[in-house]
């Protein structure tokens, strides 16, 4: 999916999310466990106003488990419930209903006291493109439902998907736009594949990714590409990976685009193991 957000698009996306929020009891905010801050939209708080929110750190299978724990603590310290999930395998998903019930206990108790007939909890999933909204909806629905979000120009009545007896989910998620005016955020979104490589320069993304790996996961980088040591000069790392993997052009020149494609593909397909690209400490 190409993301090109213009002010008009943003205003429309925001309006659509706000419309959905009105219908529900609880928001499931989906973030990418590899970049739990950069994959959020800073305006989400404003959009969901005072509705309870459960933050779901999706793709937890691809993230560094110790960092995921740090992020869960970080969100909880700030007053948000948060859990790791893997929408592809379904891991962690059972907790969604249980925690939602807990979070809405007071509201539903009050409704009961007023004599309102008990009804399922109503929820909507919100998140940036590629974070796994459709995958989660399909998992919860136990069948294929969600298309890739709302299509422009097509208005469609909201449908509720039953998830067991206790939860109803809007069949179309709320799409938030990623905020990548900050270069580091853009590079993280690109490294994880949340935004297309063509938005940023391929080699810039890879320089960022290799620097990050050199600092945070040097052994994995060494093991994967058979490097003797990690150099401060990232060009040397590029060259060595290029030589080891045969990314060489005529005349023996290293093909940096090829190295970049290879490294990013391998990061995204977990050849370097589960990775998390940011820590709560950077945001405190
Ligand atoms: P959407 O744009 O938010 O609806 O995202 P999709 O549901 O289309 O998911 C984007 C990509 O991420 C797809 O290739 C999914 O298979 C993949 N994906 C979604 N959830 C998970 C997850 O929990 N773990 C892993 N490994 N991949 C996931």
Verify whether ligand 1 is closer than 6 Å to residue 130 (CB atom). yes
Whole-number pLDDT of residue 5: 65
Q: Per-residue pLDDT tens for 243-255? A: 999 999 999 999 9
Whole-number pLDDT of residue 87: 97
Verify whether ligand 1 is closer than 6 Å to residue 127 (CB atom). yes
By alpha-carbon position, which residue is closest to atom 10 of ligand 1?
A: 130
From CA 181, how far away is CA 201, in angstroms rounded?
15
Query: Would you tell me how many other CB atoms lie within 10 Å of the CB of residue 273?
Result: 12
Alpha-carbon distances, residue 13 vs 20, 128, 178, 218 (angstroms) = 11, 11, 11, 40
pTM of the model: 0.93
Whole-number pLDDT of residue 148: 47
Verify whether ligand 1 is closer than 6 Å to residue 34 (CB atom). no
Which atom in ligand 1 lies closest to the alpha carbon of residue 149?
A: 4
Return the SS3 of 223: helix
* Contact present, 34 and 130 (Cβ < 8 Å): no
Q: What is the DSSP letter of 50?
A: T
Q: What is the DSSP letter of 117?
A: P
Cα-to-centroid distance, 275 and ligand 1 (Å): 16
Which atom in ligand 1 lies closest to the alpha carbon of residue 86?
A: 23
Intervals of the chain under pLDDT 70: 1-5, 145-156
Q: Per-residue pLDDT tens for 119-129? A: 999 999 999 99
Whole-number pLDDT of residue 51: 96
By alpha-carbon position, which residue is closest to atom 6 of ligand 1?
A: 132
Residues 6+ apart with CB under 8 A from 79: none
Residues 6+ apart with CB under 8 A from 248: 242, 254, 255
From CA 102, how far away is CA 277, in angstroms rounded?
31
What backbone phi and psi angles, to 5 degrees, belong to 57?
Answer: -85, 90
Whole-number pLDDT of residue 151: 53
Cα-to-centroid distance, 59 and ligand 1 (Å): 7
Cα-to-centroid distance, 127 and ligand 1 (Å): 12
Q: Where are the alpha helices (DSSP H) in 23-122?
A: 44-48, 65-77, 94-113
Whole-number pLDDT of residue 197: 73
Verify whether ligand 1 is closer than 6 Å to residue 61 (CB atom). yes
């Amino acid at each position: 999916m190409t993301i090109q957000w213009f002010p008009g698009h943003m205003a429309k996306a925001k309006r659509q999310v706000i419309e959905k929020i009105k219908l529900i009891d609880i928001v499931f905010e989906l973030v990418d466990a590899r970049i739990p801050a950069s994959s959020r939209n800073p305006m989400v708080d404003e959009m969901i106003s005072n509705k309870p929110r459960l933050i779901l750190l999706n793709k937890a299978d691809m993230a560094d488990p110790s960092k995921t724990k740090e992020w869960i603590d970080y969100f909880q310290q700030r007053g948000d419930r948060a859990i790791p999930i893997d929408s592809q395998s379904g891991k962690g998903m059972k907790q969604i209903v249980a925690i939602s019930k807990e979070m809405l206990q007071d509201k539903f108790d009050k409704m009961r006291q007023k004599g309102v007939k008990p009804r399922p909890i109503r929820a909507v999933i919100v998140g940036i493109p590629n974070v796994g909204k459709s995958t989660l909806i399909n998992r919860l629905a136990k069948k294929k439902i969600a298309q890739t979000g709302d299509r422009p120009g097509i208005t469609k009545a909201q449908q509720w998907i039953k998830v067991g007896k206790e939860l109803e989910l809007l069949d179309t998620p709320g799409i938030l736009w990623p905020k990548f005016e900050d270069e580091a955020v853009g590079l993280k979104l690109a490294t994880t594949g949340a935004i297309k490589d063509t938005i940023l320069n391929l080699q810039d993304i890879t320089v960022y990714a290799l620097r990050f790996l050199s600092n945070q996961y040097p052994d994995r980088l060494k093991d994967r590409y058979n490097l003797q040591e990690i150099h401060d000069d990232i060009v040397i790392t590029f060259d060595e990976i290029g030589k080891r993997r045969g990314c060489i052009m005529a005349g023996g020149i290293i093909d940096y685009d090829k190295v970049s494609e290879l490294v990013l593909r391998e990061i995204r397909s977990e050849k370097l193991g589960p990775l998390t690209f940011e820590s709560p400490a950077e945001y405190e």
